[in-house]
């Protein structure tokens, strides 16, 4: 270090200015600043007649504070809701949630058969290979935009659920699906 005393002083001044600027509530520049990282967002392609769709993604909370996904919006759907699947006897059904907790330091995966972002009243079809923008609303981090790609990642999970099959047909393939998501 051969910096003069003076230049070190001004460096320190610059740094404190920067800290000041950062703490002064600059509008959200990037999701990373909120501790949330939204990743791997995708939707299944659906026939043009489908009224509703779903979006899946992975949310990392790198921050020190818990957050909560409470809703969202998109120009591809009239309404965006947070949904989960629960067992109702032998049948799996969707339920709307007030919000999905994203605990500090954890990763929450939205995936077929589990938590998902529900797209109600599709305004255009979910076509393989296309993309759309989804805005997710978090209690702490506010609105966060993510690009969702429409791609077919295999229909095994969804058909399994929709047909209400039980796990007792020796279809190990489906059980593997369930275990890989977390
Ligand atoms: Cu749903």
How many angstroms does the Cα of residue 21 sit away from the middle of ligand 1? 41
Tell me what pLDDT residue 170 has. 35
Residue 16 lies in a domain: no
How many angstroms does the Cα of residue 150 sit away from the middle of ligand 1? 17
pLDDT confidence band for 130 (50 / 70 / 90) = very high
How many angstroms does the Cα of residue 114 sit away from the middle of ligand 1? 9
Q: What is the pLDDT of residues 16-52, one digit of tens each?
A: 555 545 554 444 444 445 589 999 999 999 999 999 9
Tell me what pLDDT residue 154 has. 79
Tell me what pLDDT residue 11 has. 60
More confident residue, 155 or 100: 100
Report how far residue 28's alpha carbon sits from residue 101's, in angstroms, rounded to the nearest whole number.
21
Residue 170 lies in a domain: no
How many angstroms does the Cα of residue 3 sit away from the middle of ligand 1? 60
Residue 76 lies in a domain: yes
Residue 98 lies in a domain: yes
Residue 44 lies in a domain: yes
Residue 17 lies in a domain: no
The neighbouring-strand residues paired with 97 are: none
**118: domain range?**
28-165
How many angstroms does the Cα of residue 164 sit away from the middle of ligand 1? 16
What is the tally of structural domains in the chain?
A: 1
Task: Write down how long the chain is.
Answer: 182
How many angstroms does the Cα of residue 98 sit away from the middle of ligand 1? 13
CATH code of 49's domain: 2.60.40.1890
Residue 10 lies in a domain: no
Residue 144 lies in a domain: yes
More confident residue, 114 or 13: 114
pLDDT confidence band for 12 (50 / 70 / 90) = low
Cα dist from 40 to 61, 93, 145, 177, whole Å: 14, 24, 13, 17
């Amino acid at each position: 270090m051969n910096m003069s005393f003076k230049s070190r002083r001004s460096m320190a001044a610059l740094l404190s200015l920067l800290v000041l600027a950062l703490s002064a509530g600059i509008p959200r520049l990037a999701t990373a600043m909120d501790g949330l990282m939204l990743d791997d967002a995708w939707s299944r392609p659906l026939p043009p007649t489908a009224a509703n769709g779903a979006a899946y993604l992975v949310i990392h909370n790198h921050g020190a504070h818990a957050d909560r996904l409470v809703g969202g919006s998109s120009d591809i759907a009239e309404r965006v809701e947070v949904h989960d699947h629960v067992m109702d006897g032998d049948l799996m059904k969707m339920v709307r949630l007030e919000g999905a907790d994203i605990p500090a330091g954890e990763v929450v995966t939205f995936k077929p058969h589990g938590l998902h972002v529900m797209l109600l009243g599709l305004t255009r079809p979910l076509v393989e290979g296309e993309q759309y923008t989804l805005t997710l609303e978090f209690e702490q981090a506010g609105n966060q935009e993510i690009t969702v790609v429409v791609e077919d990642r295999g229909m095994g999970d969804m058909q399994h659920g929709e047909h209400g099959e039980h796990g007792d047909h020796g279809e190990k393939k489906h059980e593997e699906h369930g275990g890989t998501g977390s």
